Amino acid sequence: MNTGTYVAMVGAVVSLVAWTMLSGSMFGAGLFGFGLAHIVLGLLDAIFDRRAVRAGSVE
C-alpha cells in the first residue's frame, strides 16, 4: 500500500467519527467535509501514484 491509501483510510475514519459522534453541529459538518476531502485526494494519489523522484533513480 502506498501513502495515498493510508490518507484515504484516515479520511474514512475521520468522516465516520464526524458522522456518528458530531452530527448536527457545524463542527461535525466541517470535520465530515475534511474527511471526505482526504478520501478523494488519497484515492487520486493512490490511483495515479506519480512521484517526482523514484527510488533508485537518483543521479
Distance in angstroms (rounded) separating the CA atoms of residues 21 and 41: 24
State pLDDT tens for residues 7-30: 999 999 999 999 998 878 899 899
The mean pLDDT of the chain is: 86
Q: Which residue has the higher pLDDT, 2 or 58?
A: 2
Burial label, 42 (beta-carbon count in 10 A; 0-12, 13-18, 19+): buried
- pTM of the predicted model, to two decimals? 0.77
